[in-house]
Amino acid sequence: MRRGPGRWPGRGLGVGLLVMARTLPAGTDGWPVGEQRLWSTPYGGVLCMPGGPLPGRVGGSGYVREVRTHASVLHLDLDAFFAAVEQRDKPSLRGRPVVVGGVGGRGVVATASYEARRYGVRSAMTTREARSRCPHAAFLTGRFTAYREASVVVMRILRAASPLVEPLSLDEAFLDLGAAGLGDLEVDTVTAFGHELRERVCAATGGLTASVGIGTSKFIAKVASDLDKPDGLVVVPPGTEQQLLRPMHVSVIPGVGPATAERLRRAGVHTVADLESVGAEELVRLVGKAHGNGLYRLARADDDRAVVPEREAKSVSVEGTHDTDLTDRTIMAHLLTRQAGEVATRLRKHGLSGRTISIKVRLHDFTTLSRSSTLASPTDQAAVVARTARGLLSDLDTSGGVRLLGVGVSGLADWVQEDLFGETEELDEEPETPLDPAPEARRSWAPGMDVVHEDLGRGWVWGSGRGVVTVRFETAQSASGPVRSYAVDDPRLTPFTLEQT
Ligand code: DCP
Ligand code: MG
């Protein structure tokens, strides 16, 4: 669930209900609806489905018995995550507009610092558009190792606070405060806990800020964490949920994407209050049965979903990012084969098999493509996964270079379809095509990447072109540093990877 432009018509109206850490900031940060989130997770590559089951499908382990009477669900979401990591590690960019994403001609914005959002730069916008809105911003390509590392630190802090932590993405998680060992779950107690948790995250990550929402359900906690972004804390006291939701646009409800919102709009339903006045049967008629029941409940803040720490994997995936763009198809095929092997091993370890094989490819310009193919029956065989994955890759144009490749299997069944005659044949593992021991990596100096210079030490690429690369010499611990330019093939300058520390 993301905000879209103008999705908070009631912003401010609910203030009287809320325990605010500080006053609401002016203005609205709109988010495109239904944008693609990163596939990567810091949890060993097992991709968990976001969101969890929606209310309406009563029963099963994903629910608490009834809507909670205390504000015991906490949602934490880091602010402008990728951009904040960049500002942390690049002192000269602190307080300045920063845009992270594809910097090439067809690049897309992954995120923008709040300074850049003031100029209307948004996630999923084309970089071209972002440049025209905020030409003086620093445009950087991503450093996924740094983001993943920060995510691991944050999740560790959260898990130390409560055994019930449900990560939703690299920068976002739910916590069940009922398991956090607090004296009680009164508003003052959970508010104090929220403050402390934010401070702990900030201290452990070298200054990253998180916004926290606390309420009686996942839905309310998530809405609340967005209300006072960035660097905010909002607690919604039990019993005030509906007053908070009523003035908001229906798209605040998880599962209400542009298509459902449009259907509701045509029926004259704009706000949650409008939705609340629609009867259950009418809603089912408008948006379908499965969806209608869930909507009916959420419009009343009726959400009893449990915080589920080890979420049932709906797919198993492995992916890897590459510092230099891959262009060689043989190497890509080799990597997919290897990843397919890892996916199959994991599937077998958990006694799973799946019918849908997918690949994920992030191009040099940050656009991310996924392709999938569904088999007649589930498999856990490396050879089958690999062959399908390579076939999917062959249909894509990767000539511009690839920076991330991944393989996943979904549509999981918790058994492998037995051969009718009991002869489950072990297919031979695919022979691995040997990887060129020293593939001549294209020496590319992407803006934002870490480098080290023989004399001046560590810095980052500010820009490059016409045979020259410009570097700013600074690190998270230093003051804003000097800028120097070098020939792109200057042997004193090399990319810096964390292994060098
Ligand atoms: N992301 C991405 N592509 C998108 C949206 C997000 O690559 N279309 C990445 C970049 C973000 C990170 O995921 O930094 C976290 O996503 P959020 O939606 O939480 O956005 P931010 O943390 O950047 O900003 P906010 O302060 O609104 O949470
Ligand atoms: Mg965030």
Pocket test for ligand 1, best of 123, 172, 369 (most atoms within 8 A of CB): 123
- Ligand 1 centroid to Cα of residue 50, in Å, is 14
| 423 assigned to some structural domain | no
- Ligand 1 centroid to Cα of residue 110, in Å, is 6
Which pLDDT score, from 0 to 100, does residue 456 have? Answer: 95
| 2 assigned to some structural domain | no
Residue 330 shares a structural domain with residue 303: no
| 437 assigned to some structural domain | no
The order of strands in the sheet holding 468-472 is 483-487, 468-472, 457-465, 450-453, 493-495
Quick one: which atom of ligand 1 is closest to the CA of 230?
Answer: 26
Quick one: which atom of ligand 1 is closest to the CA of 112?
Answer: 23
Q: Pocket around ligand 1: residues whose beta carbon is below 6 Å from it?
A: 35-38, 77-82, 110-111, 123-124, 171-172, 229-230
From 102-116, 212-226, 251-265, 402-416, the region with the lowest mean pLDDT: 402-416
Which ligand has the minimum distance to the alpha carbon of residue 362? 1
- Ligand 1 centroid to Cα of residue 23, in Å, is 23
Residue 82 shares a structural domain with residue 229: yes
Mean pLDDT for the stretch of residues 367-380: 85
Q: Could you tell me which residue, 59 or 346, shows the higher pLDDT? A: 346
Reduce the DSSP state of residue 125 to 3 states and report it.
Answer: coil
Whether the pLDDT of residue 31 is over 60: the answer is no
CA-proximal residue: ligand 1, atom 7 (nearest): 110
Residue 193 shares a structural domain with residue 277: no
Q: How far apart are CA 47 and CA 317, in angstroms?
A: 6
Q: How far apart are CA 157 and CA 74, in angstroms?
A: 14
CA-proximal residue: ligand 1, atom 2 (nearest): 110
pLDDT in tens, 272-295: 999 999 999 999 899 887 788 889
**Residue 172 bears catalytic tag:** yes
Pocket test for ligand 1, best of 1, 35, 81, 122 (most atoms within 8 A of CB): 81
CA-proximal residue: ligand 1, atom 9 (nearest): 110
Which ligand has the minimum distance to the alpha carbon of residue 38? 1
Pocket test for ligand 1, best of 40, 100, 111 (most atoms within 8 A of CB): 111
Which pLDDT score, from 0 to 100, does residue 167 have? Answer: 86
> Domain holding 260: CATH number?
1.10.150.20
**Listed residues 239, 261, 285: the one ending a domain:** 239
- Ligand 2 centroid to Cα of residue 8, in Å, is 18
Residue 224 shares a structural domain with residue 281: no
Distances (CA, A) of 248 to 1, 229, 436: 13, 17, 56
**φ and ψ of 74, to 5 deg:** -115, 135
SS3 for 434-467, per residue? Answer: CCCCCCCCCCCCCCCCEEEECCCEEEEEEEEECC
Quick one: which atom of ligand 1 is closest to the CA of 123?
Answer: 8
Q: How many domains does the chain have?
A: 4
Residue 273 shares a structural domain with residue 223: no
Q: How many helices, marked H, and strands, marked E, lie in the chain?
A: 13, 18
| 220 assigned to some structural domain | yes
- Ligand 1 centroid to Cα of residue 204, in Å, is 20
- Ligand 2 centroid to Cα of residue 170, in Å, is 9
Q: 123: closest CA among 166, 157, 169?
A: 169
Half-sphere exposure of 124 (CA within 13 A, CB side): 12
| 434 assigned to some structural domain | no
Residue 283 shares a structural domain with residue 329: no
Domain, as residue range, for 266? 246-312
- Ligand 1 centroid to Cα of residue 225, in Å, is 14
Residue 157 shares a structural domain with residue 271: no
The two tokens of residue 207 are: 């200054």
Of the residues 115, 172, 430, 474, only one is catalytic, namely: 172
Task: Find where tokens 């804003």 sit.
Answer: 480
Quick one: which atom of ligand 1 is closest to the CA of 36?
Answer: 8
Q: Enumerate residues 6+ apart whose C-beta is below 8 A from 7.
A: 28, 30, 248, 249, 251, 252
Which pLDDT score, from 0 to 100, does residue 432 have? Answer: 41
Q: How far apart are CA 326 and CA 332, in angstroms?
A: 7
Residue 166 shares a structural domain with residue 300: no
- Which pairing describes strands 98-101 and 138-140: parallel, antiparallel, or unpaired? parallel
Q: 134: closest CA among 171, 90, 83?
A: 83
CA-proximal residue: ligand 1, atom 1 (nearest): 110
Residue 373 shares a structural domain with residue 460: no
**Listed residues 220, 239, 258: the one ending a domain:** 239
pLDDT in tens, 394-424: 988 888 889 899 999 987 765 443 322 222 3
Whether the pLDDT of residue 2 is over 50: the answer is no
Q: 92: closest CA among 358, 475, 411, 500?
A: 475
Q: Which amino acid is at 464?
A: S
**Listed residues 282, 312, 342: the one ending a domain:** 312
- Note whether 241 and 273 are within 8 A (CB): no
pLDDT-based confidence at residue 48 (cuts at 50, 70, 90): very low
Whether the pLDDT of residue 249 is over 80: the answer is yes
Whether the pLDDT of residue 217 is over 50: the answer is yes
Which ligand has the minimum distance to the alpha carbon of residue 37? 1
- Note whether 464 and 453 are within 8 A (CB): no
DSSP 4-69: -TT--TTTTGGGGGSEESSPPPSS-----TTPPPP---TTTTPPPPSS-PPTTS--STTB-SS--S
Q: 474: closest CA among 486, 466, 482?
A: 482
> Cα-Cα-Cα-Cα dihedral of 177, 181, 187, 191, to 10°?
-80
| 263 assigned to some structural domain | yes
Quick one: which atom of ligand 1 is closest to the CA of 172?
Answer: 19
pLDDT-based confidence at residue 70 (cuts at 50, 70, 90): very high
Residue 216 shares a structural domain with residue 281: no
From 34-38, 78-82, 402-406, 430-434, the region with the lowest mean pLDDT: 34-38
> Domain holding 200: CATH number?
3.30.70.270
- The mean predicted confidence, pLDDT, of the chain is 81
| 205 assigned to some structural domain | yes
Which ligand has the minimum distance to the alpha carbon of residue 170? 1
Residue 117 shares a structural domain with residue 159: yes
Residue 219 shares a structural domain with residue 73: yes
- Note whether 124 and 138 are within 8 A (CB): no
Task: Decide: pTM greater than 0.95.
Answer: no
Reduce the DSSP state of residue 341 to 3 states and report it.
Answer: helix
